[in-house]
């Protein structure tokens, strides 16, 4: 086992919650596509920028959507309570340089960001805001 995988479990899962799964080489967004609910896999080498912001009730309504695309150029994976969470969940958006960015929720932002930063080049920006 390489040092790269030390912070992952025996199944090479570095972070997982009900919305996403991080492996040593990819980020899997759960229940991403409408209407099938299939997952979306993003190779970590494709990530150019990471945005994140705490979810607040009725905040950023023009930028976020429970599932699909709103007025922004972000396709959101399914989280039917995204607009109404009042806990510690975060919205995360991944920019891969394509026209459509990928958005999803994260339950434990500190752990997720720590594990993701360990797997990306240090020059990849992380911005505490939404595009």
- Structural domain boundaries of the chain? 3-127
Rounded Cα distance between 128 and 26, Å, is 22
Average pLDDT for residues 95-120, to the nearest whole number? 97
Categorize the per-residue pLDDT at 21 as very low, low, confident or very high, splitting at 50, 70 and 90. very high
Averaged confidence pLDDT in the chain: 90
Q: Which residue has the higher pLDDT, 33 or 3?
A: 33
Rounded percentage of the chain residues whose pLDDT exceeds 90: 73
Residue from 70, 69, 73 nearest 131 by CA: 73
| DSSP bridge partners of 107 | none
Categorize the per-residue pLDDT at 9 as very low, low, confident or very high, splitting at 50, 70 and 90. low
Provide the 10 A C-beta neighbour count for residue 14.
Answer: 23
Each residue of 46-96: pLDDT tens digit?
999 999 999 987 677 778 889 999 888 999 999 998 877 667 899 999 999
Kindly list the distances between the CA atom of residue 67 and the CA atoms of 4, 99, 104, 113, in Å, as whole numbers in the listed order. 33, 18, 9, 22
Residue 7 has pLDDT above 70, yes or no: no
Residue with tokens 């990530």: 47
User: Residue 34's pLDDT is what?
Assistant: 92
**Lookup: tokens for 98:** 């394509």
């Amino acid at each position: 086992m390489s040092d790269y995988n030390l912070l992952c479990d025996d199944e090479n899962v570095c972070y997982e919650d009900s919305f996403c799964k991080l492996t040593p080489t990819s980020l899997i967004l759960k229940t991403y596509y409408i209407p099938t609910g299939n997952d979306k896999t993003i190779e970590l080498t494709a990530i150019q920028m990471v945005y994140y912001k705490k979810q607040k009730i009725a905040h950023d309504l023009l930028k976020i959507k429970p599932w699909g695309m709103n007025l922004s150029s972000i396709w959101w994976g399914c989280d039917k309570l995204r607009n109404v969470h009042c806990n510690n969940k975060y919205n995360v958006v991944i920019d891969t340089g394509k026209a459509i960015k990928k958005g999803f929720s994260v339950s434990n932002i500190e752990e997720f960001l720590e594990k993701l930063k360990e797997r990306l080049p240090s020059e990849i920006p992380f911005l505490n805001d939404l595009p």
